[in-house]
Structure 1
């Protein structure tokens, strides 16, 4: 092979996907490019070696820092040649080529790879490069289309990409299909605590304190734990583009009705719990309302023993109220326990379902079997095109979703489950989050200013309305 005129050359290496940040493949590309430089007598400069590891060149909105740095070096006149392992490592879209050609104008930059050399200043070479870029763009589009159809078929069969960091999804083994029981126990615990009214942030802190970590070994926080509990995967469901498309190929960790209730609980905007700093310490903070301005009461501390209480801090309130904690908490506790032992309240708030779900469950079984028969037939008969399969499966899935919603509605758990008939001792054993949730679920509390002075408690200044 003839030796060219010595040139200062840049080396560009790129790979679209590198697992766990590995660099071996781009390092191999650099080694081969240096061999090309040696054969041609070109001079590679270490600071002109540019790498984009695990970065695609197909999407226009994806930045390539190495590519951008190389263009700057070309514009500064530091580069006489570029060596790349293969042309598609450098260019996957025509606009990339045009940017490169614009900078290369009048500079006579050479482009080399183990498969040959192009002169970016030569019209014939530019023509060939434009054809190659168009072919690479077409192949990228075809690959994208094939992958989208593949993922749609996989989703229809109840299979989805595992995704996530740490090599697996929390709750499952790396294969994405086998449940990891110790993780599953954590997920079920979190679901119970969320339905009991405990804040997701408090649960995350408790898990971290106990040494329970994410799949990457990091601590749990509010955001990470909430995202985990919102995933349809936990209920044995496959989601595609934000919508549930059907049952999954893996077993459910949570019953669907439970997961849907957890999701609704987490997505519902918190109301009346704006004072997070002391909401975890007192029963009625943010729940009891001022009878004058109807704003939530907060804890007001006093240096005198026994005077710490709930008070209004709204500046515009004309007649602020204040009630001692040691008076108001026991009064409300008694009222809550009375309601939880009232059969009429229970019948109203948790009525026995009159819906016979047996026919719904039978139809659900038949619809699920029908769906599976269509998928098997599509796999065996190529005449059943993707459009027919998609329309049919979508129609069946819509009915399955409707049936599941009807069944779930008849069995939906609430934050009051397990509390009906509770006594004083049982109430005292509940954690504060559970007690606060029960109070908020059962009643609206309004505290009015008292017209009398002196010690004691005036029950007439507290209005309790059943929710």
Structure 2
């Protein structure tokens, strides 16, 4: 008596939206397979089941299908029974794998379904099977296009995506405050100079997991980068087609924003974590890091030492590099490393200076400068002429609206003219308010940044400190001690000149 394998499968029912998990379908298929085995008088070795699994999507791994192929090839089973051939294959290449086994077999083989049998050892049987799978593949492709069009339409309406929740939300709409707080802190840290790698390490130590993280694992580096770039954070709707996901894996969601015909983003119907301005600032910082300089890893602002490239040789003007003193020497024990004008990097090779004393001097000068800024903070309008101008414009628009209402009350404007004028002014007012909000936020940030930097400087990483240094300092110029040199071991601050950036 033949020993065969029974195969059952239901596709990804989450796209149907009827609440079923597919379990009832595979149970019915099991019953059909057992009845078919009784009718054919064969024994079933086992039922191979792939529940909630697509046979059409190219990158889906059907574990039990692969196990069945292996058992068929090794002679554990001598055939397959299923409800229909499209349960087994919806891609021609999967059918061809079966055909190869049946053609090369030297034993009687069965390929039966409740809709009819296919003799894959004959040309006619293979032709019929190929036609049926080709038709099933066409039906799946058509269905995929319809689903994609429907999802795109829903995205254009601002509806939340379906499926798993996004990191930062309890469900499709409500914010998860614990995860939202992690995202807010990470955004501020990135803007202040921290790398994604540092944030990833912090999240791993905290045991942070995303909805897509596998059991027993912590969140991955690419997941951290993805969730921080997700337009959903500020309410913008994106849509990544399924075929793009399958072909490219995880892609940048910023590139798939859904926009109106006027170029403005579609705003979704869910609670937000960032403002659009905050999200854009974060994305701009991350994008700027893609343009890396010498000695940097892709996507990172980290260099080995605090002043690498910022410190410059007074003799030749070349950016200075860092190197370690020889282990076991007094200078190694005292300072560890030094800055040098290296010939290998285009320098003159005639200058070197111990690193920590120079860095301490620069840090102290920067913090002293920031403390002075906190004592002379002007009102936002006085700091930013553009903010003052837009604030005046906003007041003028309000006056124009009041005038239009008075003209209407005096019957000097028709209802149609009044409606058009008020509509025009309200649109202009909204645009100006957004500009005022963005400029006010920038001014407030500039005013409070100095206080925050001074307060938190001791907790800053090297890359965060470098970012703050480069915002205020053009270069740190180091001069040689001159003929006769300096007293051995003495630090000469007079040989260090800090070049501040022009305001």
TM-score, normalized by length of structure 1? Answer: 0.70
Instruction: Give distance in 1, aligned partners of 2:465 and 2:116.
Output: 75
Moved more, 22-31 or 136-145: 22-31
* C-alpha distance in 2 between matches for 1:290 and 1:308: 20
CA-based RMSD: 4.5
Q: How does 1:370-409 map to 2 (within 5 A)?
A: none
Gaps of 5+ in 1: 1-5, 363-401
Q: How does 1:444-463 map to 2 (within 5 A)?
A: 444-451=475-482, 452-454=485-487, 455-463=490-498
Question: Matched residue of 1:239: which SS?
Answer: coil
CA contact (8 A) 1:17 1:55 kept: yes
Say if 1:178 and 1:250, in contact at 8 Å, map to a contact too: yes
Distance 1:346 1:283 in 2: 37
2:419 corresponds to which residue?
A: none
Q: Distance in 2 between matches of 1:259 and 1:274?
A: 25
Partner of 2:257: 244
Indicate whether 1:356 and 2:355 are aligned. no
C-alpha distance in 2 between matches for 1:429 and 1:322? 24
Give distance in 1, aligned partners of 2:498 and 2:342. 20
What corresponds to 1:200 in structure 2? 196
Alignment equivalent of 1:441, drawn from 464, 468, 471? 471
Structure 1 partner of 2:311: 289
Deviations 1:72-108 (A, max 9, x none): 6556666543111332111224454455446535966
For 1:68 and 1:141, the matched residues in 2 are separated by 23
1:339-354 matches, cutoff 5 A: 341=372, 351-354=384-387
Matched, 1:261 2:281: yes
Whether the 8 Å contact between 2:11 and 2:55 is mirrored in structure 1 is: yes
Instruction: Check the 8 A contact 2:296/2:303 in 1, yes or no.
Output: no
**Larger mean Cα displacement after TM superposition, 421-430 or 440-449:** 421-430
Whole-angstrom CA distance in 2 between matches of 1:250 and 1:7:
58
The aligned counterpart of 2:501 is 466
1:111 offset after TM fit, Å? 2.3
Q: Which residue of 1 aligns with 2:155?
A: 155
Distance 2:459 2:337 in 1: 22
CA–CA distance in structure 2, aligned partners of residues 415 and 205 of structure 1: 31
**2:341 pairs with 1:321:** no
CA distance in 1, matches of 2:279, 2:139: 41
SS in 1 for 2:350: coil
The equivalent of 1:84 in structure 2 is 82
Displacement after TM superposition at 1:144 (Å): 0.9
SS of 2:481's equivalent in the other structure is: coil
Give the structure 2 partner of residue 177 of structure 1.
Answer: 173
Contact map agreement 2:10 2:22 (CA 8 A) in 1: no
State how far apart, in whole Å, the 2-side matches of 1:106 and 1:211 are: 52
**Residue 187 of structure 1 aligns with which residue?**
183
Give unpaired runs (5+ residues) of structure 2: 15-20, 241-254, 259-265, 398-430
Per-residue CA deviations over 1:123-180 (Å, capped at 9, x if unaligned) read 77656545533432232122111101101111111124245xxx42121122x11112
> What pairs with 1:405-424 in structure 2 (closer than 5 Å)?
410=439, 413=442, 417-418=446-447, 422=451
Q: CA deviation at 1:116?
A: 4.5
Cα distance in structure 1, aligned partners of 2:447 and 2:384? 14
Quickly say closer, same or farther: Cα 1:110–1:319, change in 2 above 3 A: same
Q: Deviations over 1:266-307 (max 9, x none)?
A: 23225477499xx99998243533415424436658635654
| SS, match of residue 6 in structure 2 | strand
Query: Given the alignment, which residue of 312, 320, 323 partners 2:340?
Result: 312
Matched residue SS, 1:437 = helix
SS of match in other structure, 2:354: strand
- Structure 1 CA distance for aligned equivalents of residues 432 and 30 of structure 2: 58
Give the secondary structure class of the aligned counterpart of 2:237.
strand
Superposed CA deviations along residues 244-283 of structure 1, whole A, max 9, x for unmatched, are 111111122101111111112223225477499xx99998
CA contact (8 A) 2:53 2:62 kept: yes
Which range moves more in the overlay, 178-187 or 146-155?
Answer: 178-187
Cα distance in 2 between the residues matched to 1:45 and 1:423: 69
Q: CA deviation at 1:313?
A: 8.2
- In the aligned structure 2, how far is the partner of 1:197 from the partner of 1:415? 19
Assess, with a 3 A threshold, how the Cα gap between structure 1 residues 440 and 66 changes in structure 2: closer, same or farther: same
* Offset at residue 237 of structure 1 (A): 0.8
Q: Do 1:155 and 1:240's aligned partners in 2 also have CA atoms closer than 8 Å? A: yes
Question: Is the CA contact (8 Å cut-off) linking 1:290 and 1:297 kept in structure 2?
Answer: no
Aligned to 1:334: 365
Structure 1 pair 92–213 and aligned structure 2 pair: CA distance change class (3 A): closer
- Distance in 2, matches of 1:345 and 1:273, equals 39
**C-alpha displacement at 1:412, in angstroms?**
6.8
In structure 2, the residue matched to 1:58 is 56
Structure 1 residue 238: deviation in Å? 0.8
Please state whether the residue corresponding to 2:186 is helix, strand or coil: helix
2-structure distance, mates of 1:161, 1:428: 41
Partners in 1 of 2:84 and 2:294 — Cα distance? 61
Instruction: Give the total of aligned pairs.
Output: 409
